[in-house]
Amino acid sequence: MTALNQHFVADSEDNLARMQQAVAEQMRDRDAGLMQYFYRSSVVYQRELDNLFFKSWLWAGHVSQIPNPGDFFLYEIDQESVIVARGNDGQVRALINSCRHRGSRVCEELQGNCKTFVCPYHGWVYGTDGALRGARHMDAMPGFRKEDHGLKQARVAVRFGLIFINFDPDAYDFNACLEQVDGQLGPYHLENAKIAHRETYSVDANWKIALGNYLECYHCETAHRAYSKLHTFKDREEVVAPINRAMWERAERETGVHDIEKAVYRMFREAPGFGSCVYTSRYALFDGYLSGSRDGTPVAPLMGDFKGYDGGAGDCQFGPLTYMLNYPDHCILFRYVPFGNNKTDMEIVWFVNGDAVEGVDYDREALVWLWHVTTIEDKRIMQLNAAGVNSRFFEPGPQHPEFEDTPKRFVDWYLHALAGDFSVIPPTVR
Ligand code: FES
Ligand code: FE
């Protein structure tokens, strides 16, 4: 695909200079949270879209949504609409939903199956591989080459049944990154999983507030009673370390999955390439709890190769804006989609084994209970946070070196990207 039109246009040089000054100022105060400016400036928001969202690997969907040739669904972000389609050759493509004639959307349906996409304006016809098949009257014109006018395409990576796209033609090869967590993620066989439930939580908060909330568990003890009863993630290292060690020792034996306890840390600036983060680690649930449910008991059949419960949960990052929690019997994916500075869609997708039958093998309400309740709690605190951040008197306080370490890594990556520095740094040893 050709380079993107740059949407970021500073209203004036003053605005761009102000942004660069704010980035420099924030970089000098690395321990503090982000200043209000980064949550409110329209210049910053446009820059975020161009430098972060449209250069990062983003989760678009799951292979079970498009099992057959001609199946498609739309993925939308900002003013972009992408047709994620399976071609007759079985390949998954991300077709930019903008006609190569005058730019009309060629597909209006949110999902479906078709043989061709016919532009509703002047009737150009595209195959499900994006190739232009026909252009009324034009294709007979001398010099008109259909092969020059196929739908543009975004990059695609498919692994573990998860479909990722990247609008940057020069993006780092995400498949090569995802291979690094094959050992930990492969055994869930997410490629054979099914979506048992998905829900969008629309939050009146800047996307960095929503994501920042996911990246730390300093708030868990105060905000999430049900979650905190089960998960050790919120506790201090010295409390958690022996519980984790005991779980790591039994993890392989109990689950039957080789090396399931091994961690891979390539987050944010430590990603192998810009916007290509991969991270996975396994942490313990408190004694006696087996899965992420209301009372910690299993809620679905074991996934993939799992033979049993080790009392652990996997924690994953796929690119900077997609996260996953993996319990032996279900996996939960989270993604963040911004709508301007003050609204974010937080989407949650629950996966279970592909052959599990609702009402027989799992109860949907029981499956989603914990993370639905936890997300409603999060929505409340995110919105309260957003309201307070918009106060004229807001001044960010320090970030805790242990409990807010991941948000600090995010802010470091974010500021570099905003400034146009897409370099990556070697991973730290943990
Ligand atoms: Fe699509 Fe003219 S805009 S055929
Ligand atoms: Fe939370």
- Tell me the pLDDT band of 1, cut-offs 50, 70 and 90: very low
Q: What is the rounded distance in angstroms from the CA atom of residue 82 to the CA atom of residue 100?
A: 14
Whether ligand 1 lies within 6 angstroms of the CB of 99 is answered as yes
* Gap from CA of 392 to ligand 2 centroid (Å): 26
Taking only the tens place, the pLDDT of each residue in 289-330 is 999 999 999 999 999 999 999 999 999 999 999 999 999 999
Choose which residue among 101, 107, 137 to substitute to test ligand 1 binding: the one with the highest number of ligand atoms within 8 A of its C-beta: 101
Instruction: Count the helices and strands in the chain (H runs, E runs).
Output: 11, 17
Q: What is the DSSP string of 6-60?
A: -----SSHHHHHHHHHHHHHHHHSTTB---THHHH-HHHHHHHHHHTGGGS-EEE
Q: What residues contact 421, with CB distance under 8 A and at least 6 apart?
A: none
Closest atom of ligand 1 relative to the 123 alpha carbon = 4
Taking only the tens place, the pLDDT of each residue in 231-241 is 887 778 888 89
ipTM for the predicted complex comes to 0.97
- Tell me the pLDDT band of 121, cut-offs 50, 70 and 90: very high
* Entry pTM: 0.95
Take atom 4 of ligand 1 and give the residue whose Cα is closest: 122
Strand residue runs (E) in 63-212: 71-77, 80-86, 92-96, 111-113, 116-118, 125-127, 132-134, 153-159, 162-166, 194-203
